[in-house]
Amino acid sequence: MSSPSAHRADLDGWRALAVTLVVLFHGWPTLVRGGFVGVDVFFVISGFVVTRMVQRQLEANTFGAFDFYARRVNRLAPALLLVVVATVVAAVLLLSPSLVAMVVTHAAAGLAMVVNVLLAAQASYFDVTAEVKPLLHLWSLAVEEQFYLVVPLAVVLTRRRPGAAQAATLVLALSSLVASVVLTASAPTWAYYLPVTRGWELLAGVLVAQRQTTLAAGHRLAREGLALLGLGCVLGAAIGFDKTTPFPGAWALLPVGGTALLIWTGPETRLARLVSHPRIVWLGLVSYPLYLWHWPVLTLSRLAVPLEQAVVVTPLAIIASLGLASATFSLVERPIRSRQSRLVAGGLVAAAGALGLVGATLQLTGRVERWSGRGPEAAKVSRFEHDYEYRIDARFGTCWLLDEPAKADASSCVEESPPELPLVMVWGDSHAARFTAGLRALQAERHAFRIAQRTRSSCPPLLDLGTGFCRDANQSVILEAGALRPAVLVLDARWTEEPRASQLRATLQQLHGAVPATKLVVLGPAPEWRVSLPWTLNKRAAVEAIPERLRPDAFEHQREVEAQLAAAAKENGATFVSALDALCTLEDGCLVRLSAEPLMLTTWDYGHLTTPAAKLVARRVALSW
């Protein structure tokens, strides 16, 4: 039996397991592909611990809303404020202005406890990747904070009826689980971040705490077996899940249920005693500051070094995170928690509010290059990145569709006149859409061909690829091509995302049967830049003018992919055109700037071509007709 007042060292051990899974996942994502479930373990433990704290205060008749909030602030705010301020300062020194603006926005939202909602709202096809969002991990803290906001109200409503409290918790947990399953299928991004779909994980810990006791000591074998089952569920999820697992949804039952079993079976099991070892407990005690520090340290240190050195930097960054976590726990977190002062809590809230207000004001009153200390060259890059309009001339929303099952408007995406001109059809993903913008610019000069555009984000022009709308949409393109009988069919995509040569071979073979008289052209990958071209240029703009050419970090890999695609195209009677040859040379690298005043870069992100750059590629494609 475990009373509400008993300290359980095993809970610190399970916190150590949770943070270890998360850190390993972020450090070596291919090693522990499902390590993100460590966050779910944290949620269950947090629900349990907070409920036990409330139970102790209710028994002593000392529970109060202000005291509850003060305790939460003193527990969470000191380390959070320290990490947020340090991350913003480091971002100003290391990142491009646009990324600095993003970090400041996330910092303000994190301090306001709404960063999870902001991240869900910001998610889009052109959203920057997680690897350049050093405060991305604050979403889970926001979910916990939003949960804590309603705890005092729940206590007031159920204080006199403990049985009703358990029933209400069960109903809310089941409702949240249902919402999680439904939204994971229909709106997975929102399901991942919202407290409505994550609340059941914290409530699972609440339900365990409401039982008041652990599994009876007399059930020794059952207790040991259930503890092993619980650990197996957590580790099985960490090993078996990956980024393709629909999550949270029903799959989250595995780590959440496993954690609930580990807590319920109590501190007397062999596993509980094992994780109660002082060194493991220490890791659990510093798990909160370690969670806060490790992600910004990893992201910023990786961005600070060349790509090939990132592997070496990872273990050093994790060691540094452990050192920072230990110092934060000893010098900041523990002293403030031990005082449990309402005055200190009020000061921390005021400091968080002031910092959030400053961040919001900076964002609303001017562009980031005006206050981030950037020179004139970096400021020009920032303005270009912010202002470049990439959608209109690529017919975004009509002929260039997002990754959704909507259909294109055939009347506006296929030029029917003058009918005597040959029809050039472009099929592919968002990169193909941007190529089409360059093709239209070339068409305006030559008036020698018509254009048909069938482009959809995240859908490369490959048959039998995956399931759902991409597969269906690509099949419809083949049928349409058979009816239109274009003179030329150009296949273009972000080929470097994963190997595509074998799928390309199969697609070309089917195309020969569907459009035997059509000339098939495979357009190779365009240059891709680490993070983004503006970020790459920003690192150089501090010491020199914007160069005309640079060599991408992964240029050799892009050439290897190009060679595989070229071989597949040649073997199956298609013409291969190299976008790299159109924009790059072996000696000088790839074009990054097409004009200096006004500044025109070849891309505003990692690799989607601007219209002038796409026009250069279109000229080379036109030579193959």
Domain boundaries defined on the chain: 9-370, 391-526+553-586+611-622
Lowest mean pLDDT among 3-7, 45-49, 196-200, 516-520: 3-7
* Helix H or strand E encompassing 234: helix 220-240
Percentage of the chain lying above the pLDDT 70 cut:
92
Helix, strand, coil percent values for the chain (each to nearest 5): 65, 5, 25
Q: Which of 346, 347, 338 is nearest to 75 (CA)?
A: 338
Q: What is the mean pLDDT of residues 156-164?
A: 78
d(CA 216, CA 266): 9
The 8-class DSSP code of residue 531 comes to S
545: how many CB neighbours lie within 10 A of its CB?
A: 12
Whether the Cβ atoms of residue 446 and residue 461 lie closer than 8 Å to each other:
no
Tell me the pTM.
0.87
Q: What is the mean pLDDT of residues 569-594?
A: 94
Which of residues 283 and 587 earns the better pLDDT score? Answer: 283
List, in sequence order, every residue forming a beta bridge with 576; answer none if it has no partner: 522
Say what the pLDDT of residue 181 is: 97
Token pair 């899974």 in the structure block, residue: 21
Q: What is the mean pLDDT of the chain?
A: 90
Say what the pLDDT of residue 583 is: 97
The 8-class DSSP code of residue 330 comes to I
Residue 610 contacts by C-beta under 8 Å, 6 or more apart in sequence?
388, 390, 434, 594, 600, 601, 602, 603, 604
Q: What is the mean pLDDT of residues 548-569?
A: 93
Q: What is the mean pLDDT of residues 320-336?
A: 96
pLDDT band at 70 (very low <50, low <70, confident <90, very high): very high
Q: Which two tokens stand for residue 205?
A: 């810990």
Burial readout 567-576 (b: 16 or more C-beta within 10 A, e: otherwise): ebbeebebbb
Which of residues 194 and 500 earns the better pLDDT score? Answer: 194
Say what the pLDDT of residue 294 is: 98
Which of residues 513 and 465 earns the better pLDDT score? Answer: 513
pLDDT band at 310 (very low <50, low <70, confident <90, very high): confident
d(CA 384, CA 534): 9
Q: What is the mean pLDDT of residues 288-314?
A: 91
Q: Is residue 361 pLDDT above 80, yes or no?
A: no
Instruction: Dump the DSSP string for 36-97.
Output: GGHHHHHHHHHHHHHHHHHHHHHHTT---HHHHHHHHHHHHHHHHHHHHHHHHHHHHHHS-H
Ramachandran angles phi, psi of 591, nearest 5°: -60, 135
Q: Is residue 1 pLDDT above 50, yes or no?
A: no
Lowest mean pLDDT among 3-17, 83-97, 208-222, 510-524: 208-222
Whether the Cβ atoms of residue 4 and residue 52 lie closer than 8 Å to each other:
yes
Residue 196 contacts by C-beta under 8 Å, 6 or more apart in sequence?
176, 179
Q: Is residue 409 pLDDT above 80, yes or no?
A: no
Alpha helices, H only, 95-161: 97-111, 115-122, 138-158
Say what the pLDDT of residue 385 is: 87
Strands 593-596 and 599-601: antiparallel
Which of residues 129 and 192 earns the better pLDDT score? Answer: 192
Q: What is the mean pLDDT of residues 532-543?
A: 77
Say what the pLDDT of residue 328 is: 97
pLDDT digits (tens, 9 = 90+) for 368-395: 656 555 677 777 888 898 889 999 999 9
Q: Is residue 515 pLDDT above 80, yes or no?
A: yes
Q: What is the mean pLDDT of residues 507-520?
A: 94
Which of residues 444 and 92 earns the better pLDDT score? Answer: 444
pLDDT digits (tens, 9 = 90+) for 256-282: 999 999 999 999 999 999 999 999 999
Say what the pLDDT of residue 469 is: 77
Lowest mean pLDDT among 399-413, 502-516, 546-560: 399-413
Q: Is residue 541 pLDDT above 60, yes or no?
A: no
Say what the pLDDT of residue 7 is: 78
Q: Is residue 51 pLDDT above 90, yes or no?
A: yes
Say what the pLDDT of residue 205 is: 96
Which of residues 60 and 42 earns the better pLDDT score? Answer: 42
Say what the pLDDT of residue 141 is: 97
CATH class of 391-526+553-586+611-622: alpha beta
1: how many CB neighbours lie within 10 A of its CB?
A: 11
d(CA 621, CA 435): 10
218: how many CB neighbours lie within 10 A of its CB?
A: 7
Residue 301 contacts by C-beta under 8 Å, 6 or more apart in sequence?
313, 316, 317, 320
What is the SS3 assignment for 14? helix
Say what the pLDDT of residue 371 is: 57
Q: Is residue 575 pLDDT above 90, yes or no?
A: yes
Q: Which of 559, 616, 568, 621 is nearest to 589 (CA)?
A: 559
